[in-house]
Amino acid sequence: MEADIEHKLQELREKREIARLGGGKEKIEKQHKHGKLTARERLELLLDPGSFFELGQFVTHRCRDFGMDKERYYGDGVVTGYGTINGRRVYVFSQDFTVLGGSLGEAHAMKICEVLDYAIETGSPIIGLNDSGGARIQEGPSHYGAIFCRNVLASGYIPQISAILGPCAGGASYSPALTDFVFMVKGISYMFITGPRAVKAVTGEELTVEQLGGPEVHGEISGVAHFVAESEVECMKQIKRLLSFLPSNCMEKPPTVNTGDDPNRMDESLNYLIPVNPRKPYDIKDLILKVVDGGDFLEVQENFARNIVVGFARMNGETVGIIANQPKFLAGSLDINASVKAARFIRFCDAFNIPLITLVDCPAYLPGKQQEHGGIIRHGAKMLYAYCEASVPKITIVLRKVYGGALSGMCVSKHLSDITLALPTAEIAVLGPEAAVEILFRKEIAASENPEAEKAKRVLEYREKFCNPYVAAERGYIDGVIEAREIRPTVISLLKALKGKVKRALKKKHGIIPL
């Protein structure tokens, strides 16, 4: 009897070893030669040691055509299951390029759908490690649709994270695009709908995979990638750091962390960080780092639409989402890409109970034919819609200037924000001083012996009488004026005061965001 049990145990152990080897030692070596880790090595980096439990380890494909009966592997090219990250449960799938190029067939798709279902049912984040040649043509029609439906079902309910760790082409690219955050790694990642060969055949353009859909393209130009890492090791660290700011699902609050940073801390240098001259640039991230807990700020889409900065931080140990104009780029004005970037981030924070802190230094929407023809009205409305829809606590601080349509676009309104404050350096007006003066005093300036001097005098007068924050405060447009050094303790105090805020919504299926 013991011999029979030993035989069965040996059989199990052998099958497990076969499954662990995926496509075999030669293909694993080839994966390593290309500078890539295997599906299982990636999970070992991502998850807490010993926490991974695999599901569907012995699943194989069912196709018998085109010689596929001789190409059967345990797991069918994807490792799925659950584990923990810093003690918190997550569900995962990791595509195995050593098995049929990580191609997606029916059984492969079924395994991904199952872990998505488990993640939704248990209220756990889902992390997908993508490394696939695309749909498996030997198995007929694509099975991506089943995954897409679950991505949409999970949207706003659990955090969805995608890491692109190899090819991700055609229909395969849409599942990551439906998730909340996309990570890419330099040197090994690329994403596109149509590959270089097809592009050349149709348009005549000759492009490498990196030029068409590499990390630099999606991190800086298209905005598809939210994070770009130097290596797979760094990528896994970034994913862990991101998760530390997020709740497991929309029914929970983000985790509170004891950062040891005094909530009443004030930094005198903040009072002198922002130049009085509204045209002089500065780095908004210098202010953010001085205000948040421990100078810890996780920027999202760092190199895309750099005229606006978005990201996660903690205030008194609690996660906040920060949206801030960046005067170093395009003077912090709002354009199409900045509006879309901010709108998506705002909606994510609202879905997962993360308060919004908006830091404003914005001259206006970027003018010009390119922006107007590109649909700045439609795209700018996305950001406005996101702010109006958000029910989490919203605190806005005008740092230096905000004019015209940017007042609403940047949540500088008691109708949009719960609390709106300003610094003494703030200018709040329908038009900037120069533009306002040219309209209001056009005749006087033209009739003057020295038009330039007359204009300068009128601009100074307009600034003193109409643009300063005290006029806005007197009229009730803002709730108060504070010193820059007071930003941290004031925001923390307001977040406490706004805890438990409830916004009643009309009963309807959903709104129509201006996509």
Q: Please give the average per-residue pLDDT across 66-70, as a whole number.
A: 62
Q: Which CATH homologous superfamily contains domain 2-245?
A: 2-enoyl-CoA Hydratase; Chain A, domain 1 (3.90.226.10)
CA 464 to chain centre: 40
Q: How far apart are CA 370 and CA 135, in angstroms?
A: 37
Q: How far is CA 62 from CA 77, 116, 129, 138, in A?
A: 13, 22, 24, 11
Give the catalytic positions in this structure.
170-171, 405-406
Residue 457 has pLDDT above 80, yes or no: yes
Tokens of 4: 């029979």
Tokens of 435: 């533009």
Share of the chain above pLDDT 90, in %: 69
Q: How far apart are CA 282 and CA 269, in angstroms?
A: 14
What dihedral do alpha carbons 468, 333, 306, 223 form, nearest 10°?
140
Q: How far is CA 132 from CA 37, 118, 221, 250, in A?
A: 13, 23, 23, 30
Tokens of 224: 């598809």
Q: What kind and span of H or E run contains 407?
A: helix 406-409
Q: How far apart are CA 299 and CA 312, in angstroms?
A: 6
- Write out pLDDT tens, residues 289-312: 999 999 999 999 999 999 999 999
Buried b / exposed e over 443-477, threshold 16 CB at 10 Å, is eebeeeeeeeebbebbbeebbeebbbbeebbeeeb
Evaluate the CA torsion angle 436, 440, 442, 445 in order and state its sign: negative
Q: How far apart are CA 103 and CA 266, in angstroms?
A: 55
**CATH code of domain 268-426+468-497:** 3.90.226.10
- Write out pLDDT tens, residues 223-272: 999 999 999 999 999 999 999 999 999 999 999 999 999 999 999 999 99
Return the SS3 of 50: coil
- Write out pLDDT tens, residues 146-178: 999 999 999 999 999 999 999 998 888 999 999
CB atoms within 10 A of CB 105: 23
Residues of the chain with CATH 3.90.226.10: 2-245, 268-426+468-497
- Write out pLDDT tens, residues 408-452: 999 998 889 999 999 998 999 888 788 887 888 888 888 888 888
pLDDT for residue 43: 98
pLDDT for residue 117: 98
Place of tokens 């130049």: 275
pLDDT for residue 218: 97
pLDDT for residue 139: 67
Which is nearest to 384 in space by CA: 323, 299, 475?
A: 323
Tokens of 72: 């059967």
Residue 78 has pLDDT above 90, yes or no: yes
Residue 135 has pLDDT above 90, yes or no: no
pLDDT for residue 276: 87
Widest pairwise Cα distance in the chain: 112
Q: In angstroms, what is the C-alpha Rg of the chain?
A: 27
Which of 364-373, 457-466, 489-498 shows the lowest mean pLDDT across its residues?
Answer: 457-466
Place of tokens 């130009």: 221
pLDDT for residue 100: 82
pLDDT band with cut points at 50, 70 and 90 for residue 123: very high
| First and final C-alpha spacing in the chain | 67
Place of tokens 């007929």: 140
> Contact at 8 Å (CB) between 354 and 255?
no
| 157 backbone dihedrals φ, ψ, rounded to 5° | -105, -45
pLDDT band with cut points at 50, 70 and 90 for residue 140: low
Mean pLDDT of the chain: 92
- Write out pLDDT tens, residues 173-212: 999 999 999 999 999 999 998 888 888 989 999 999 999 9
Residue 65 has pLDDT above 70, yes or no: no
Q: What kind and span of H or E run contains 213?
A: helix 209-213
pLDDT for residue 330: 96
Residue 216 has pLDDT above 60, yes or no: yes
Q: Please give the average per-residue pLDDT across 107-111, as a whole number.
A: 91
pLDDT for residue 346: 98
Share of the chain above pLDDT 70, in %: 97
pLDDT band with cut points at 50, 70 and 90 for residue 375: very high
Return the SS3 of 162: strand
Q: What kind and span of H or E run contains 378?
A: helix 376-389
What are the residues facing 421 on neighbouring strands?
397, 480
Q: Please give the average per-residue pLDDT across 102-119, as a whole number.
A: 92
pLDDT for residue 326: 98
pTM exceeds 0.85, yes or no: yes
pLDDT for residue 464: 78
Which of 133-137, 313-317, 386-390 shows the lowest mean pLDDT across its residues?
Answer: 133-137
Residue 66 has pLDDT above 60, yes or no: no
Q: How far is CA 16 from CA 27, 48, 229, 389, 454, in A?
A: 18, 21, 32, 50, 85
